[in-house]
Structure 1
Amino acid sequence: MAPVVWSHVGRILWLACLLPLAPARVAAGMYELNLTTDGPASTGAEVTISASLVAKDNGSLALPTDAHLYRFHWIHTPLVLTGKMESDLSSTIRVVGNVPGEFPVSVWVTAADCWMCHPVARNFVVLPITEFLVGNIVVAQNTSLPWPSSYLTKTVLKVSFLLHDPSNFFKTASFLYSWDFGDGTQMVTEDSVVYYNYSIIGTFTVKLKVVAEWEQAKPDATNGIVQKTGDFSASLKLQETLRGIQVLGPTIIQTFQKMTVTLNFLGSPPLTMCWRLKPECLPLEEGECHPVSVASTAYNLTHTFRDPGDYCFSIRAENVISKTHQYHRIQVWPSSIQPAVFAFPCATLITVMLAFIMYMTLRNATQQKDMVENPEPPSGVRCCCQMCCGPFLLETPSEYLEIVRENNGLLPPLYKSVKTYTV
């Protein structure tokens, strides 16, 4: 009888032990923990970590009405616990890190009466602790651009440093800010907000060094100066609005001639450009031409006209800031002589001109040679030569007769032969 009684008692005790486990086993996998933290933080600063038990989003599970059914368990070593607070289905702890590093903090939830049971939900977070200041640079401008970190030149920028100090650890500290704007300008201020105006386009890196100092009590009951520093940077892309397009090219051209037009964009690249020939100068509509990406401020257009007439280049360009249109009129005249027609006459004319030039060159050279080889003697010598040596040097009888006629006088002789007549 006794063994049977003890057997029933054992079963009752076993069922009694299972009762606390039943809710947890049923709830396992139906809830999750959401963790939030205000870290990272500097060494010595207090960090807050919160955990909330929520139901998974299946549309049918509701949280229990009694919040005391569950217990939160934390592991935060080597971080020092400075405070803990629990409320309905949530728990919050405050910890301090005295050495730099990345420290995991884990938490899990079990049934309130059975902390050794299977967890209902668990999660963890890695908390960064650094020996430097924590913060970031914020840049603001009145004009908003669609690209991140893009701003307009010649417009005032507001550059601010935001210190991350949720626990007011640096409330008694004094700060010094050293700014470097990346274009050769540097300044030192005691204010965390400065205003600056970039005059040129480009990508610049703003560098900031922050120094914080405050008094802190030492173990020997004396006050000492404690200092923390931090280096921060932010990249800025300064751009200009697209003020216009300068078109350089001819305004009159003939058919079948290749024409080149240069476009100079007065704005910041990269740009998107498209163009089209129209009978009139009208703006281009969306989808009317194929866009082309331009990585510089200049672009060359080439086109060959086959039909005469009046045309207009309609050009549209835009960058991330603005867009603009430009037009360029051009008159195309028909070619009076086609290349195949005037090619042969031109070749003939060039050949004749070259032959004439060669003929005149050879003729001049021959005349100069004759003058050098046969110089004309003086008149006295020529006369003597004609009278004495003429008959021997003459080459033709006609030439001889010519000389004889020149030597005879024009008057009749002084005496005249008398003819005798017999009667």
Structure 2
Amino acid sequence: MALALCPRVSGILWLACLLPLAPALVAAGLYELHLVTDSPATTGAEVTVTASLVASDNGSLDLPTDTHFYRFHWVHSPLLLTGKTEEALSSSIRAVGSAPGDFPVSVWVTAASCRRCQPVARSTLVLSITEFIVGNLTVTQNMSLPWPGSYLTKTVLKVSFLLHDPSSFFKTASFLYSWDFGDGTQMVTEDPVVYYNYSIIGTFTVRLHVVAEWEQATLPTGKGVVQKTGAFSTSLKLQETLRGIQVLGPNQIQTFQKVTVTLNFLGSPPLTVCWRLKPKCLPLGEGECHPVSVASTTYNLTHVFRASGDYCFSIQAENVVSKTHQYHRIQVWPSSIQPVVFAFPCATLFTVMLAFIMCMTLRGSTHQKDMVEVADFDFSPVSDKNPEPPTGARCCQMCCGPFLLETPSEYLEVVRESHGLLPPLYKPVKTYTV
């Protein structure tokens, strides 16, 4: 009977030994560690690292209420540990680095009653230690622009240096600030805040050199002056408001001619330009034209007018600072040079009319001459068969014959008569009767 009870007793004792390990085995994989730090820090200054145990499914699991249920284990060498704080489900350490570099810090959590058990959660981060002053250079302006790093010219800028010193390492130090604004202006101040006004557009780099000095107890002299420095910079893009648009182009033009209008923008690019021709100078409505991106302060518009009338270029431009409108009136007259398709018929008609007028003019002048010279009688023998036509009539027949005669036979007859007959081979002999 006693031998039969021994296996049961040993099993009960084995389960009793495993009961303290049950929470850690169940919690493994259900939680995670979040680490935060205030690094980077300068050599000699304290760095704080805090680890918090949280549920891995965003808090739907209930964390134990007993603050001593879990234990945090840290590895921070070669950093020198200066303090440690344990709170509910979190732990913090403070360490100091004597040399610059990047140092890993690890932490894991186990059940408080079992240090050798499987960790519930673990995490690691890297601390950055530098020998220089740590801080940030910030620039602010009353008017904010939609683009980061963009500011307005002729508007005061506030440039500030923010020292990063959570452990108050520089509480007894005195500082000296040397400023370079990138446009040729430099200054030295004891104040970490300066105000500056840029008068021109462009991209500038603000550089700051910081020097910190303080007294520190040293051996064997007792006291000594310690100095640390730091260099900082930031880039600024200065822009101007769009003050207007200068339009250069003709105010009168003929149809079927290409016109070029030059736009000069009084402001900072990049710009968005939109234009449209309207019968009247009215602002552009929403969606009336397609915007075009312009990367310079000059843009050319080209257009060919095919109909006469009064037109107006309605132009809209905007940059990241502001927008503006401008108008340009132009009067289009009918072109004096018509297209080629109309030139040949018109030239033909004009030639026919001119020939007809010349023919009629010559005919009228010849008729008047015949009436004046009818009294002059010519006794020279003339062939009755082929009389010589007058000079004006001959010209009229040669020039206007194809247009005035009705049949080709009449035209040929006129040509034949216009040439006349060959002169006779003998002269007629006059006889007298006594």
Which bracket does the TM-score occupy, shorter chain normalised?
0.7 to 0.9
Kindly tell me the number of residue pairs found equivalent between the two proteins. 348
Deviation at 1:331, TM superposition (A): 0.7
Instruction: Name the residue aligned to 1:157.
Output: 157
1:136 aligns with 2:101: no
Query: What letter is aligned with 1:186?
Result: Q
Equivalence map 1:401-412=2 (5 Å): none
Equivalence map 1:98-117=2 (5 Å): 98-117=98-117
Helix, strand or coil for the counterpart of 2:269?
Answer: coil
Helix, strand or coil for the counterpart of 1:103?
Answer: strand
Query: What letter is aligned with 2:184?
Result: G
1:300 aligns with 2:300: yes
Instruction: Name the residue aligned to 2:269.
Output: 269
Deviation at 1:59, TM superposition (A): 6.1
Deviation at 1:129, TM superposition (A): 0.2
Output the CA distance in 1 between the equivalents of 2:163 and 2:208.
12
Equivalence map 1:63-102=2 (5 Å): 63-102=63-102
Instruction: Name the residue aligned to 1:318.
Output: 318
Deviation at 1:2, TM superposition (A): 7.5
Instruction: Name the residue aligned to 1:186.
Output: 186
Helix, strand or coil for the counterpart of 1:143?
Answer: coil
1:327-363 CA distances to partner (integer Å, 9 max, x unpaired)?
1111111113414389779x99xxxxxxxxxxxxxxx
Helix, strand or coil for the counterpart of 2:17?
Answer: helix
Instruction: Name the residue aligned to 1:30.
Output: 30
Instruction: Name the residue aligned to 1:403.
Output: none
Instruction: Name the residue aligned to 1:118.
Output: 118
Deviation at 1:122, TM superposition (A): 1.1
Equivalence map 1:382-397=2 (5 Å): none
Query: What letter is aligned with 1:60?
Result: S
Query: What letter is aligned with 2:166?
Result: P
1:219-263 CA distances to partner (integer Å, 9 max, x unpaired)?
325101111111100000000000000000001111000000000
Helix, strand or coil for the counterpart of 1:24?
Answer: helix
Helix, strand or coil for the counterpart of 2:15?
Answer: helix
Instruction: Name the residue aligned to 2:410.
Output: none
Instruction: Name the residue aligned to 1:361.
Output: none
Instruction: Name the residue aligned to 1:198.
Output: 198
Helix, strand or coil for the counterpart of 1:67?
Answer: coil
1:238 aligns with 2:243: no
Q: List alignment gaps of at least 5 residues for structure 2.
A: 349-434
Output the CA distance in 1 between the equivalents of 2:280 and 2:267.
26
Output the CA distance in 1 between the equivalents of 2:59 and 2:188.
57
1:176 aligns with 2:176: yes
**Aligned-residue CA RMSD (Å):** 2.1
Output the CA distance in 2 between the equivalents of 1:9 and 1:44.
60
Equivalence map 1:10-25=2 (5 Å): 10-25=10-25
Deviation at 1:6, TM superposition (A): 5.5
1:276-311 CA distances to partner (integer Å, 9 max, x unpaired)?
111111111222111111000000000000011111
Deviation at 1:12, TM superposition (A): 3.2
Deviation at 1:16, TM superposition (A): 2.4
Query: What letter is aligned with 1:269?
Result: P
Output the CA distance in 1 between the equivalents of 2:69 and 2:326.
75
Output the CA distance in 1 between the equivalents of 2:62 and 2:308.
81
Output the CA distance in 1 between the equivalents of 2:168 and 2:248.
63
Instruction: Name the residue aligned to 1:406.
Output: none
Helix, strand or coil for the counterpart of 2:68?
Answer: helix
1:81-107 CA distances to partner (integer Å, 9 max, x unpaired)?
111111111111111111100011111
Helix, strand or coil for the counterpart of 1:233?
Answer: strand
Output the CA distance in 2 between the equivalents of 1:119 and 1:137.
42
Instruction: Name the residue aligned to 1:407.
Output: none
Output the CA distance in 1 between the equivalents of 2:30 and 2:103.
28
1:4-63 CA distances to partner (integer Å, 9 max, x unpaired)?
666445433422231122111111111111111111100000111111111123563111
1:216 aligns with 2:189: no
Output the CA distance in 2 between the equivalents of 1:36 and 1:60.
22
Query: What letter is aligned with 1:265?
Result: F
Structure 2 length as normaliser, TM-score? 0.77
1:60 aligns with 2:60: yes
Pick closer, same or farther for the CA change 1:186–1:60 going to 2, 3 Å. closer
Instruction: Name the residue aligned to 1:257.
Output: 257
Query: What letter is aligned with 1:291?
Result: P
Output the CA distance in 1 between the equivalents of 2:311 and 2:176.
64
Instruction: Name the residue aligned to 1:390.
Output: none
Instruction: Name the residue aligned to 1:50.
Output: 50
1:39 aligns with 2:7: no
Deviation at 1:314, TM superposition (A): 0.7
Output the CA distance in 2 between the equivalents of 1:50 and 1:263.
61
Larger deviation: 182-191 or 297-306? 182-191
Equivalence map 1:352-363=2 (5 Å): none
Q: List alignment gaps of at least 5 residues for structure 1.
A: 349-423
Pick closer, same or farther for the CA change 1:3–1:182 going to 2, 3 Å. farther
Output the CA distance in 1 between the equivalents of 2:132 and 2:298.
47
Pick closer, same or farther for the CA change 1:69–1:136 going to 2, 3 Å. same
Output the CA distance in 2 between the equivalents of 1:153 and 1:58.
48
Structure 1 length as normaliser, TM-score? 0.79
Pick closer, same or farther for the CA change 1:336–1:247 going to 2, 3 Å. same
1:345-392 CA distances to partner (integer Å, 9 max, x unpaired)?
9x99xxxxxxxxxxxxxxxxxxxxxxxxxxxxxxxxxxxxxxxxxxxx
Query: What letter is aligned with 1:253?
Result: I
Instruction: Name the residue aligned to 1:278.
Output: 278
Output the CA distance in 1 between the equivalents of 2:17 and 2:103.
37
